[in-house]
Amino acid sequence: MILTRPTTQPWLEPTTYWPSLQAATSELDPPFGVISLGALAHNTFDMLDRANGTPIRVASKSVRVRGVIDAVLAVPGYAGVLAYTLPEALWLASDVDGHAAITDVVVGYPTVDRAALRALAASPELAARVTIMVDSVDQLDLVDAVIAPSKRSAIRVCLELDASWDTWYLGHTGVRRSPVHSVEEARALAEVIVARPGFTLVGMMGYEAQIAGQVSKPVGKPAYGAIVRWMQRNSAAELAERRGAAVARVREIADLEFVNGGGTGSLERTAAESAVTEVAAGSGLFGPHLFDNYTHFSPAPAAAFALSVVRKPQPGLAVLLGGGWIASGPSQPDRLPKVVWPEGTKMLAREMAGEVQTPLEGAGAAALRIGDRAFLRHTKAGEISEHLNEFAIVDGETVVETMPTYRGQGRVFL
């Protein structure tokens, strides 16, 4: 797969875009996943434009397709992977399963996987390619307990700074990640890391979920949307100042190779911070329907999945086999898949997306017959890959290749 900047945007006309994917995959039996090559390429280059010259590290949890990750990394402006588990990082950093090793992998979350830590510490090659995440001394102690510093290669370490925003009127805004919030807390942990044998502090990271992962234009909630946008502006200003100061203090004692921040929803803001050397993004490549509700960007719906109609309990209803591919996060309607084709179709309110069947209603559902299929988009990006062995890669009305997911390659990391 080679990604080049497209000159057309067919997805802007749903009445032709989805039928073209339908035609291309007409010989496939659902459930199956489909990726539009043109839409994926559009999203790849659109994110580069939004990052405005700041390198993008690919967030693998939002893709989970090794071939897509490889293709994106071949595009100038993308560099390295932000993995989600250490076993995944070790796999990505190895020449295995027909893929060349990715030589710069940062694990975005702390690890307590003892077997993976032993494998990392025992291999100078892997230890040079993989960086683990820490936010406490206890995590360093665990690594030392698994394999003593004198018996291992030095472990590359990234210090995570809490990027949430705390105010007396909103309380804690953001996700519960690192306990390291203040400039002095960051400096103190950095001093411990630098002083301990067997570790090398090479980076800092901070993920501002309240900015990157919070929709700024929620459907039917204009007043709430205004509050969210106000929060994001003020949170971004506070974080830029605090992160800049924390990075400066840590750089006094450690020669940091990178400072990572952001996500698909905050590329412009985070890339503009002088302290940040790279941004992380992955969800925007597939363009899940969560991103339909942002004000400042609109990715193409590159990835979708198809399910078969197996029942017609009434003329106006159509029942799909499967469909309960619910996204992680708070249990609410926006975690459900979205039916995008045929138009005029929605899930039956009393059942919604079920484990083995999903009833549909509406004009589109009435027109569906046994054996027809419907196309749906997932709320999030990489989670769709955990339900599929492969994606059909479509260019125009042709399946140009099939590409296995992590699961399809026998790799399930989380």
Taking the model in full, what pTM does it have? Answer: 0.93
CB 199 within 8 A of CB 254: no
- Residue 118: both structure tokens together: 């032993």
Q: What is the predicted pLDDT for the residue at 63?
A: 97
CATH assignment of 37-286, among 3.40.50.720, 3.10.620.30, 3.20.20.10, 3.40.50.970: 3.20.20.10
Per-residue pLDDT tens digits for 150-179: 999 899 999 999 988 888 887 888 788 899
pLDDT band at 3 (very low <50, low <70, confident <90, very high): very high
CB 305 within 8 A of CB 325: yes
- CA 285 to each of CA 92, 277, 282, 400: distance values in angstroms, whole numbers, following the listed order: 19, 21, 6, 19
Check pLDDT > 90 for residue 214: no
Query: Which residue ranges make up each domain of the chain?
Result: 37-286
Rounded CA-CA distance 243/248 in Å is: 8
Residue 9: HSE in the Cβ half-sphere, 13 Å Cα cutoff: 9
Rounded CA-CA distance 125/181 in Å is: 33
Residues 6+ away with beta carbon under 8 Å from 262:
207, 208, 212, 269, 270, 271, 276, 279, 280, 281
Rounded CA-CA distance 63/50 in Å is: 19
DSSP reduced 3-state for 25: coil
pLDDT band at 393 (very low <50, low <70, confident <90, very high): very high
- Residue 28: both structure tokens together: 């496939």
In this structure, which amino acid lies at residue 302? Answer: A
CB 110 within 8 A of CB 139: yes
- CA 100 to each of CA 117, 234, 398: distance values in angstroms, whole numbers, following the listed order: 22, 43, 27
The count of other CB atoms within 10 Å of the CB of residue 412 is 12
Residues 6+ away with beta carbon under 8 Å from 347:
323, 336, 339, 353, 358, 359, 360, 361
**How far is Cα of residue 293 from the mean position of the Cα atoms in its chain?**
17
Residues 6+ away with beta carbon under 8 Å from 49:
none
Check pLDDT > 90 for residue 238: no
pLDDT band at 216 (very low <50, low <70, confident <90, very high): confident
Q: What is the predicted pLDDT for the residue at 235?
A: 82
Q: What is the predicted pLDDT for the residue at 68?
A: 97
Q: Are strands 199-206 and 155-160 parallel, antiparallel or unpaired?
A: parallel
Helix 222-251 / helix 183-195 crossing angle, nearest 10 deg: 40
Check pLDDT > 80 for residue 280: yes
Rounded CA-CA distance 380/361 in Å is: 24
**Of 380, 305, 346, the residue nearest 25 (C-alpha):** 305
Rounded CA-CA distance 65/389 in Å is: 10
**How far is Cα of residue 389 from the mean position of the Cα atoms in its chain?**
18
pLDDT band at 330 (very low <50, low <70, confident <90, very high): confident
Rounded CA-CA distance 208/242 in Å is: 12
Residue 5: HSE in the Cβ half-sphere, 13 Å Cα cutoff: 6
Q: Are strands 317-321 and 357-361 parallel, antiparallel or unpaired?
A: antiparallel
Residue identified by tokens 């039917």 is 220
Asked whether the CA dihedral 77, 265, 290, 10 is positive or negative, the reply is negative
